[in-house]
Amino acid sequence: MTTDAAGVTDRQARVARLRRVAPSVALLLVLAGALLIPIAADDPLLRLASPERSRVDGLRAAIGDVPVDGLVLVALDADLGTYPEIRATTRAALVDLAAHGIRLAFISFTPEGRAIAAAELDRLRRTGVTPAPADLGFVSGSEAGLVRAIASVLPESAAGPIADEIDARGGGLAAFDLVLVVSGSDLSARSWVEQVGPRLPELPLAAIAPTFLEPELAPYLVSGQLTALLATLREGVTYAEAIATEPGDERGPTPGALAMLIGMLAALAVLGEAAARRLTGGGRPV
Amino acid sequence: MRRTVVAAMALVTGLLLILDLLVVNPSLGQAAGALNELLVLLAAAAAVGGAVTLGAHHLREVAAGAGSRAGSMVLLGGMVVVLVAGLRPGSTGSADPAVAWLVAALLAPIAASIFALTFLFLLGALRRGFAVRGRETSVMAAAAAIVIVLLLPLGGAPGDWLASGATWVRAVPLAGVFRGLLIGVGVVVALSAARFLLLPDRDDD
């Protein structure tokens, strides 16, 4: 009898747990399904791209100002948590730079940034980008390392035509025609503006950043300390669409508008339900 | 070491670095460069020391059977796998294809998945927040709801209108509050640093 009662209680507990978890799992399944439904960029009902294009035009102009065969430093210091938000934008920028015949070099000042940079370099090599980007590796010391790189950015092991060109131009950050800072939570374009901007005022700095950094970086764009800035998902999607050349251009997937819409409506529904429960004096939600 | 000595070192170091930024002088530049080199070495030493301490802590946990043994073993296993991939003979370090694969195929998706789950956790936290701190949560939820509505990925004229609203919210109230916060934090940090550096410690009196 006692065993039966315990079994019933266990079953009830399991059912209660399933009921608690079911809405979240169902939402995740719906979101995953929505991601599989292709939505055209010019769909009249759903559009993730921003109608405001000034920042996209700003980055395209900054890249356009780099001379053919120019050198661009990609300072990849994104973090693993927020990189998915800016991955499509970053890859679009790399495609854009390559399309302009610009030579690239990668450097990182954070360990997470270095890990992402290594993976992106590997991807670029596999896609056969020519000339192959130079890998300037990881510089420790965060902002102190950044200041050190102003004078010397080439590691001992650097070799190849791009490294030779950097060396011929002085071997420091001034060797580059543009720096594209891919920002994260540990080291953002703000550090570049603060540490490199006053020392190399002629060096153009462009930035790609996740949305949470936008309020921090936007004033630098207005003041001209940043030449260009893409810092929201919608701007990134607009940019990726603007430079899209062919479907398989290896930029990686851009976020799905339908999945975003469903997720946002679900969030609004949950907020509304919780607020209504509060207003009607309902019990404590679980 | 007396705090006044530490304070003096910090003051001299800071002043030297600021002067190097303001004045073009080769000797000053060399001195600031040497200090910067020390900072780089210090940061590298701190990073290595932190990793060793983390590994040692979890080794002790596994040996003593304390804490989450499974978690500690996963962490140690992960460290060993990445270190072997990056340090084995013939490896090219962090640029090695094995390390790049570990990052691109395992680390990045795992981190992104955990980050994506904050969506569900935040909603759950807001629901509970209504029961615990109703007024504050209501303000937060109302602001969140407005921002979500403004960011809805809709096409056509309604989508344009919402996007304009989102741009205004970002450029005016959000930017204003954020800059106010930044200035406030800056003032507090400057005052705290000045207090630490300039006021003598009780032990020094």
Contacts of B101 in chain A (CB under 8 A): 119, 122
Residue of A nearest to B126 (CA): A271
Number of neighbouring beta carbons within 10 Å of residue B87: 11
State the complex-level ipTM: 0.78
The confidence score (pLDDT) of residue A186 equals 87
The confidence score (pLDDT) of residue A31 equals 87
pLDDT digits (tens, 9 = 90+) for B91-135: 888 778 888 888 888 888 888 888 888 888 888 888 888 878 778
Count of structural domains, chain B: 2
Whether B149 maps to a domain, the answer reads yes
Task: Give Dmax over CA atoms of chain B in angstroms.
Answer: 71
CB–CB of A263 and B37 under 8 A?
Answer: no
Query: Is the Cα dihedral B41, A185, B173, A238 positive or negative?
Result: positive
Whether A9 maps to a domain, the answer reads no
Q: Which long-range contacts (CB under 8 A, 24 or more apart) does B102-109 make?
A: B103/A115, B103/A116, B103/A118, B103/A119, B104/A119, B104/A122, B104/A123, B107/A80, B107/A115, B108/A80, B108/A83, B108/A84, B108/A115, B108/A116, B108/A119
Strand runs (DSSP E) across B77-203, as ranges?
Answer: none
The better pLDDT of the pair A175, A11 is held by A175
Q: Is A135 helix (H, G, I), strand (E, B) or coil?
A: strand
Whether A203 maps to a domain, the answer reads yes
Average pLDDT over chain B reads: 86
Contacts of A144 in chain B (CB under 8 A): 36, 39-40, 43
Whether B191 maps to a domain, the answer reads yes
Among B36, B112, B154, the residue with its CB nearest the CB of A46 is B154
- Of the candidates A272, A247, A237, which has an alpha carbon nearest to the alpha carbon of residue A56? A237
Label residue B150 exposed, middle or buried (CB < 10 Å: 0-12, 13-18, 19+): middle
Share of chain A above pLDDT 70, in %: 93
The confidence score (pLDDT) of residue B112 equals 82
Residue type, A228: A
Which domain, by its residues, includes B173?
Answer: 119-196
To probe the interface with A, which of B24, B94, B138, B174 has the most A CB atoms within 10 Å? B94
Whether A76 maps to a domain, the answer reads yes
Residues 23-42 of B with CB under 8 A from A: 33, 36-37, 39-42
Residue of B nearest to A255 (CA): B153
Among A123, A216, A275, the residue with its CB nearest the CB of B130 is A275
What residue spans of chain A are helical by DSSP H?
A: 2-36, 54-64, 83-99, 111-127, 143-151, 161-168, 189-195, 214-223, 233-243, 257-279
Label residue A219 exposed, middle or buried (CB < 10 Å: 0-12, 13-18, 19+): middle
- The answer, for B120 touching chain A at a CB cutoff of 8 Å, is yes
Shortest CA gap A245–chain B (Å)? 23
Count of structural domains, chain A: 1
The confidence score (pLDDT) of residue A286 equals 45
CATH code, domain carrying A222: 3.40.50
Contacts of A272 in chain B (CB under 8 A): 145
HSE-CB of B106 using CA atoms within 13 angstroms: 9
The confidence score (pLDDT) of residue A140 equals 85
The confidence score (pLDDT) of residue A282 equals 61
Whether B11 maps to a domain, the answer reads yes
CB–CB of B127 and A122 under 8 A?
Answer: no
User: Distance of CA B47 to CAs A85, B29, B52, B79, Å?
Assistant: 27, 27, 9, 14
Report the C-alpha dihedral over residues B81, B83, B87, B90, rounded to 10 degrees. 20
In the predicted structure, residue A245 carries a pLDDT above the cut 80: no
Whether A42 maps to a domain, the answer reads no
Task: Label residue A279 by pLDDT band (50, 70, 90).
Answer: confident
User: Distance of CA B84 to CAs A140, B44, B88, B95, B169, Å?
Assistant: 21, 20, 5, 13, 49
Average pLDDT over chain A reads: 87
Whether A237 maps to a domain, the answer reads yes
Residue of A nearest to B98 (CA): A119
Task: Label residue B49 by pLDDT band (50, 70, 90).
Answer: very high
Whether B46 maps to a domain, the answer reads yes
User: Distance of CA B139 to CAs B24, B130, B135, Å?
Assistant: 52, 10, 7
Shortest CA gap A200–chain B (Å)? 11
Among A141, A234, A261, the residue with its CB nearest the CB of B44 is A141
Q: Which of B18, B43, B61 is the last residue of a domain?
A: B61
Contacts of A142 in chain B (CB under 8 A): 43
Task: Label residue B57 by pLDDT band (50, 70, 90).
Answer: very high
CB–CB of B44 and A264 under 8 A?
Answer: no
Q: Which of B21, B43, B61 is the last residue of a domain?
A: B61
What is the arithmetic mean of pLDDT over A95-108? 93
- The answer, for B151 touching chain A at a CB cutoff of 8 Å, is yes
Orientation angle between helical segments B3-22 and B26-64, nearest 10 degrees? 130
The confidence score (pLDDT) of residue A2 equals 60
Cα B205 to Cα B195: distance, rounded to the nearest angstrom: 15
Q: For B65, left (φ over 0), alpha (ψ -120 to 50), or beta? A: left
The confidence score (pLDDT) of residue A239 equals 92
Shortest CA gap B160–chain A (Å)? 7
Number of neighbouring beta carbons within 10 Å of residue B192: 10
Q: Which of B17, B43, B61 is the last residue of a domain?
A: B61
Cα A163 to Cα A184: distance, rounded to the nearest angstrom: 26
Whether B142 maps to a domain, the answer reads yes
Alpha-carbon Rg for chain B in angstroms? 26
Whether B86 maps to a domain, the answer reads no
Residue of B nearest to A116 (CA): B103
Whether A253 maps to a domain, the answer reads no
Whether A32 maps to a domain, the answer reads no
Cβ distance A201 to A60 under 8 Å?
A: no
pLDDT digits (tens, 9 = 90+) for B146-184: 999 999 999 889 999 999 999 899 889 988 998 899 899
Whether B105 maps to a domain, the answer reads no
User: Distance of CA B17 to CAs A188, B22, B25, B29, B30, Å?
Assistant: 21, 9, 12, 9, 11
Whether B111 maps to a domain, the answer reads no
Which domain, by its residues, includes A214?
Answer: 54-243
Cα A172 to Cα B199: distance, rounded to the nearest angstrom: 41
